[in-house]
Chains A and B, each alone.
Chain A
Amino acid sequence: DAKTTQPNSMESNEEEPVHLPCNHSTISGTDYIHWYRQLPSQGPEYVIHGLTSNVNNRMASLAIAEDRKSSTLILHRATLRDAAVYYCICKIIFGKGTRLHILP
C-alpha cells in the first residue's frame, strides 16, 4: 500500500495562502490522492482528490507533481476555521497528518 509522508505541523498567518506538502513515492499508477481534514472533536472530512491533473474546488486546490510522487494541498486564504489536522492518503491508509495552526 502506498504510504504517505507529511510534516507533523505547520503554521500560517490568517488570510495568507497555505501550502501543505505530501510525499507518496510508492504510489501506483492508478491510485488517486485524497486529502481530508479533521476539525477538533469531529471525524475527518473529505477535502479534495486527484489523479494526475491539478484540481480545484470550493475548499482548496490540489497540485500534483508530474511524477506523482508528491502533491500539495493549497488553501488560498487561510482562516482560523482552517486550523485542523490534514491527512493525505492513497488507498485507505491514514498517516499522522499535518496539524495546521493559523495565527490571527
Chain B
Amino acid sequence: DVKVTQSSRYLVKRTGEKVFLECVQDMDHENMFWYRQDPGLGLRLIYFSYDVKMKEKGDIPEGYSVSREKKERFSLILESASTNQTSMYLCASTNSVGGGSTDTQYFGPGTRLTVL
C-alpha cells in the first residue's frame, strides 16, 4: 500500500526556532511537494522537488527552504519560525507533474505546527 509519512502530527515551537518537518515516501516517486493549508485558503504550494537535490519554488516559498538528499525524503525547513507560519503542513508525492494519468498525488497525514 502506498505510503507517505510525516515525522510529527503535532508540533509546538517558539518564535525564532529552526524547525524541520520531515516527509518520507515509499513509492519510489520522483516528485515530492510541501503545502500549507489554512482555513479558507485551501492548499498552497510552498516548494516541490522533481529529483534528488533539485527544488522549485511554489506559490509561497518565503520563509521556507527545503532539502532533498535522498529520493524518498523531502524536508521542509523554517529557518526562523514566526507566528504567521502556524499552519497545517502537508507533504505529497507523485510520479509525474505533467498533468498525466500517473500524477496522482499521495498525501501524508499532515503536521499541525503551532509557533508561539
B95 to chain A, nearest CB (A): 12
A13 adjacent to chain B (CB < 8 Å)? no
- The answer to whether A91 and B42 have CB atoms under 8 Å apart is no
B76 adjacent to chain A (CB < 8 Å)? no
9 shortest interchain CB distances as A-B pairs: A43-B107, A31-B99, A96-B42, A94-B43, A91-B99, A44-B107, A46-B104, A43-B110, A43-B90
- The answer to whether A93 and B45 have CB atoms under 8 Å apart is yes
A50 to chain B, nearest CB (A): 9
A–B pairs, 10, beta carbons within 8 Å: A43-B90, A44-B90, A49-B104, A51-B101, A91-B98, A91-B103, A92-B33, A92-B45, A92-B94, A94-B35
- The answer to whether A91 and B97 have CB atoms under 8 Å apart is yes
- The answer to whether B108 and A32 have CB atoms under 8 Å apart is no
- The answer to whether A43 and B109 have CB atoms under 8 Å apart is yes
Q: 8 Å CB contacts to B: which residues of A32-56?
A: 32, 34, 36, 41-46, 49, 51
Given the complex, which residues of B lie within 8 Å of A41, measured CB to CB?
Answer: 110
A28 adjacent to chain B (CB < 8 Å)? yes
Rounded to whole angstroms, the CA-CA distance of A96 and B101 in the bound complex is 22
B12 adjacent to chain A (CB < 8 Å)? no
